[in-house]
A and B are shown apart, each in its own frame.
Chain A
Amino acid sequence: DAKTTQPPSMDCAEGRAANLPCNHSTISGNEYVYWYRQIHSQGPQYIIHGLKNNETNEMASLIITEDRKSSTLILPHATLRDTAVYYCIVRADNNAGNMLTFGGGTRLMVKP
């Protein structure tokens, strides 16, 4: 699976949009972009995934560039409870066992 690059940390003001970038310049055509987050003392939580179209659900929006070499996770109105480590992962659709390879992630701090 392709490797991802994320900034190690970011701050965001409560109520503002949090935009978390991810570079995946070596992504292949059959690889999806997944986002998970991990709140302190909990297991990772699935947020959203996409292939090439932008995606939105009740938690977040995922914007994937046209060349698919980077993406941005958007939390439209960040709350203090969104403070967590956010992981961007690329995974092939035919990945046997659908194993996820986590990198270091971005530690998002939402401040009052």
Chain B
Amino acid sequence: GAGVSQSPRYKVAKRGQDVALRCDPISGHVSLFWYQQALGQGPEFLTYFQNEAQLDKSGLPSDRFFAERPEGSVSTLKIQRTQQEDSAVYLCASSLEGGRDGLFFGSGTQLSVL
């Protein structure tokens, strides 16, 4: 497709369950970002990849959060032992190297932890 694709669109998990969220960036985009957006708040940075290298993971809230991009294209954000406070929209964005002309965001995965 032409844009950033995220799946699933919605995910309901029981507390303690592991979840995996997928992001397909725009073809050719070197940079990939994950953001977390709580209800009524602006997106907050989680982690950044350049190709397959994870260059910044300073925003990951705990060691239960793990992201990978093994072949420099598709990325997966994994959350282990989900907690209620993990409920949020998880946004993925991609850009050409440098990103001066802006980041392109997907529609996000809305995660609800019960």
Contact = CB atoms under 8 A, between A and B. Distances in A.
Interface stretch (A9-17, A18-26, A44-52, A68-76): A44-52
Interface in B80-114: 91, 93, 95, 98-108
A98 B33 CA distance: 9
B45 A99 contact: yes
Q: How large is the interface on B (under 10, 10 to 19, 20 to 34, 35 or more residues)?
A: 20 to 34
Interface residues of A, number: 23
Contacts of A44: 43, 91, 93, 103, 105
A43 B93 contact: yes
Contacts, number: 58
Nearest to B40: A104
A98 B98 contact: yes
Interface in B14-42: 31, 33, 41-42
A73 to B, nearest CB: 14
Contacts of A45: 105
Task: Name the residue in A32, A41, A93, A100 with the highest tally of chain B Cβ atoms < 10 Å from its Cβ.
Answer: A100
A34 to B, nearest CB: 7
B106 A43 contact: yes
Task: Name the residue in B33, B98, B99 with the highest tally of chain A Cβ atoms < 10 Å from its Cβ.
Answer: B99
A105 B31 CA distance: 24
Contacts of B93: 43-44
Given A46-B104, A97-B33, A104-B41, 10 more contacts: A34-B102, A42-B107, A43-B4, A43-B105, A44-B43, A49-B101, A97-B31, A98-B31, A100-B45, A105-B42
Q: Which 3 A-B pairs have the closest CB atoms?
A: A43-B105, A46-B102, A102-B42
Interface of B: 4, 31, 33, 41-45, 48, 50, 55-56, 91, 93, 95, 98-108
